[in-house]
Amino acid sequence: MSRRRGLPHGNPCHERNGDLPDSNVPHIALHRLPSTCPEQNLSEGQHGRKKLKELSDIVAIELELHDMRIKGLLPTANTVLASPAKKFRWTGKVVDLVELLYALDTCDCIDNGEIGVEELADAFSDIFGVEVKNCYNVYMNMKRRKDDSRTYFLDELREKLNKRMVESDLKGGKFKKR
């Protein structure tokens, strides 16, 4: 006989979720649930309902965690969380970064546009180690520019990328590595 409430050793009802490898689920003795062990005589009906409620709560939590993993809000078990080996630094002007952020936001390039400029600024600040403050004020200053084009940085990006492609074509398609 097992030490647990007189269940014979090897009884499948003797198993519990805490015995599973890498289980983070709190221990619940499933051998006490009538639905998992019909031969078990529960004299304490309330205790059985309490355990069933606990199991139901755990299943609900696990389903919610599963949904969050599917949506990418939590890492999956196979995901290795590691910080990048190399830190990146933004070496351009902050106004250029803000111009890029607004362009990405306008084109819905990140999370289908469901993320705002301020959230993008926070993420880019973390990635590039630069503090981006008052994005909206910087944007308003960009709008006040008087030239034909008010997107200086984006224009420069377009120009330099096109030049690089032309130079690459002239060299037989070879890409100049840095």
pLDDT at residue number 60: 83
What does the pLDDT read at residue 48? 72
Q: 135-143 and 117-128 are packed helices; what angle lies between their axes, rounded to 10 degrees? A: 110
Model confidence at 64: pLDDT above 80: yes
CA dihedral 65, 71, 73, 74 (to 10 degrees): 50
pTM: 0.51
Q: Which of the pair, 132 or 49, is modelled with greater confidence?
A: 132
- Only one residue has tokens 């689920």, namely 25
Min mean pLDDT across 23-32, 36-45, 50-59 is at 23-32
Q: Which long-range CB contacts under 8 A does 5-11 form with residues at least 24 apart?
A: 5/31, 5/32, 7/31, 7/40, 11/37
| Sign of the dihedral defined by the CA atoms of residues 4, 5, 11, 15, in that order | negative
pLDDT at 174 over 80: no
Cα–Cα distance, 135 to 141 (Å, whole number) = 10
For the stretch 3-29, pLDDT in tens is 444 444 544 444 444 444 444 544 444
